[in-house]
Amino acid sequence: MKDKTIVETLYEEAMKTRENAYTPYSNFKVGASLLSDNGEIFSGCNVENASYGLSLCAERNTIFSAVARGERKFKAMLIVAEGEAPVKPCGACRQVMAEFGDFDVYLANTKGKIEKTKVSELLPNAFSPKDL
């Protein structure tokens, strides 16, 4: 049996966590997984609320969980949702991602299509802590 690549592992974790998404309004389930610099994997899903502004995307849920556990440096994130094209993060998630560096981001769909990019490509010229 061959060893799984980190992308395969991140994909499996994001797919598994995606099933826990709470999406009674959009029915658009998103899962994300995040690899920290020390090799730990964190995952999260989107959680909706009747007051839409209180909803939380999978990407921010995942990053905030990692930060709550003391992580600040990340190597890669994978985001997955159903659709023909790989899912892309919203602007708010891109800004939160940029806060923590220019790591690899894998955009995926539930059919296994995966595209690689970087935070800086998703949000060029981002406002960052360096600007303060």
Percent of the chain residues topping a pLDDT of 90: 91
User: What pTM value is reported for the model?
Assistant: 0.94
pLDDT at 90 over 90: yes
Express each pLDDT in 19-70 by its tens digit.
999 999 999 999 999 999 999 999 999 999 999 999 999 999 999 999 999 9
Radius of gyration of the CA atoms of the chain, in A: 14
Average confidence score pLDDT of the chain: 95
φ, ψ for residue 67, nearest 5 deg: -65, -40
CATH tag for 6-120 (out of 3.40.140.10, 3.40.50.150, 3.30.700.30, 3.10.110.10): 3.40.140.10
pLDDT band at 1 (very low <50, low <70, confident <90, very high): very low
pLDDT band at 128 (very low <50, low <70, confident <90, very high): confident
Choosing from 8, 59, 84, 99, the catalytic residue is: 59
Q: Is 115 a catalytic residue?
A: no
Query: What confidence score (pLDDT) does residue 2 get?
Result: 55
Structure tokens at 6: 């980190």
- In terms of phi and psi (left: phi > 0; alpha: psi -120 to 50; beta: otherwise), the region of 50 is alpha
- Domain positions in the chain are 6-120
Query: What confidence score (pLDDT) does residue 114 get?
Result: 98
Percent of the chain residues topping a pLDDT of 70: 98
